[in-house]
Amino acid sequence: KERQKFQFERDDQLAIFSEQTSWNCVIEGDDRKVGFVASGPTFMHVSEAFPDSPILKLGFSHPVPIEKIRAFADTVDNLLVVEETEPLVENALKAAGVFCHGKDVLPRCGELQPHVVAKGVDLLLNGEKADDEAGDVAIFPRPPTMCVGCPHLPPYYCLSKLTKKATIVGDIGCYTLGAGHPWRALDTTISMGASMGMALGMDLGRVEADRDKAIVSVIGDSTFLHMGMQGLLEMNYNHGNVTVLLLDNSTTGMTGGQDHAGTGQDIYGAEAPKVDFEKLCEALGVNPERIHVVDPYEMPSLYKLIKQEIAQPETSVIITNQPCVLIDRFERKPAFKVVEEECTGCANCLKVGCPAISVTRRDTETSKSGREVEKAWVKIDTAACTGCDLCQQTCAPNAIVLAQEA
């Protein structure tokens, strides 16, 4: 009860603060047909769509500054509250007797954009029906991709060759994209760190008829440190027969490049102790002979190593050790290009999945056996290419060469 009393008193103090703080401010405008109340991203949408209209920007939105908004409403012809999803501010104003518009002209679901706000204002001023649907607009397909030269590309290229021989369990990170085109190399992904426990469960729960199929777990360095270590410990404790691909790219790539205990830097960028993944896996019970560190860009060696380890009757760990292409440690190399006269359209390079490679022409040809074969001729965006040479390693006719030598 004492705590509840404190909370009520604090709410009263915050209500006073909300009315007085400069965080809730009016951006003046000459066109006073509509005045807007907006906060966060919706403020940017309103500013873009109606640069000449007055806006009361809420930098401190709860408690709602009722009296400040009431005074603002007296200076404009119409007051429109722009907020996504639930009409929280709108309801608070109406409960206080402040007349305003909101969800009567703006959609309650979906994401607001400048053009959506503009449609709402048209409905408010002109009585035109707001159309929430985008209409039949042909949108070019843009599936999510990994970055150009990403060190996760070669592991998935190799795994895509082994999907019939292995059940592959993914985890949460950039490498979750391995489930998509062109690799289609993940059978399942659930939640952060789940790949380890799921792989162990699949191994221990399968019948003898499935023993010839390997179990592979794919997990990133930051995810492994956050939620994967316990799973590897359990895997060894329960004598699991799983091959773990630990993709160490020296950062937390998916969420913006944050450091972790395996990068050698703390949260402020200062030097810090760096986890040795090889020793850590050994400490968690993995046989040292079954722990391997490999350069993922050396694809033949990586592929051979994966095939070797999935044949072993015990837990093994393969650690890839090249940095994310978006961090400072990554060193760009000279770009490659396609010699058009040499390209046969085999499309092997497309199976790497690098966004710097694009198709210039498609066709079908009849093979000697009478089967129709799809062909795809390609080019490489030399401005984007990082020089990883993965495409060159897969090119059968040797049509991919260094751009500066072509």
Q: pLDDT digits over 31-57, tens only? A: 889 999 999 999 999 999 999 999 999
Residue 365 pLDDT:
86
Cis previous bond, 54, omega within 30? no
Q: Which domains does the chain have, with CATH numbers?
A: 2-126 (3.40.50.920), 153-320 (3.40.50.970), 336-405 (3.30.70)
- Give the C-alpha separation, 218 to 187, whole Å: 11
Q: What is the b/e burial string over 164-198, where b = at least 16 CB atoms within 10 angstroms of the residue's CB?
A: eebbbbbbbbbbbbbbbeebebbbebeebbbbbbb
pLDDT band for 350, please (50, 70, 90 cuts).
very high
> Which structure tokens are listed for 207?
């019948």
Q: For the residues 265-271, what does the mean pLDDT come to?
A: 89
Residue 401 pLDDT:
96
Residue 133 pLDDT:
52
> Which structure tokens are listed for 333?
């190399």
More confident residue, 378 or 110: 378
Q: pLDDT digits over 133-178, tens only? A: 555 667 777 888 999 999 999 999 999 999 999 999 999 999 999 9
Residue 111 pLDDT:
86
> Which structure tokens are listed for 372?
């129709």
pLDDT band for 373, please (50, 70, 90 cuts).
confident
pLDDT band for 192, please (50, 70, 90 cuts).
very high
pTM: 0.70
- DSSP letters, 267-334, are TTS-B-----HHHHHHHTT--GGGEEEE-TT-HHHHHHHHHHHHTSSS-EEEEE----TTSTT-----
Contact 47, 62 (CB under 8 A): no
User: How much of the chain exceeds pLDDT 70, in percent?
Assistant: 97
Name the nearest CA neighbour of 188 among 226, 215, 227, 221: 215
Q: pLDDT digits over 278-289, tens only? A: 999 999 999 999
**Number of Cβ within a 10 Å radius of residue 76:** 18
pLDDT band for 368, please (50, 70, 90 cuts).
confident
> Which structure tokens are listed for 208?
């003898």
Contact 82, 36 (CB under 8 A): yes
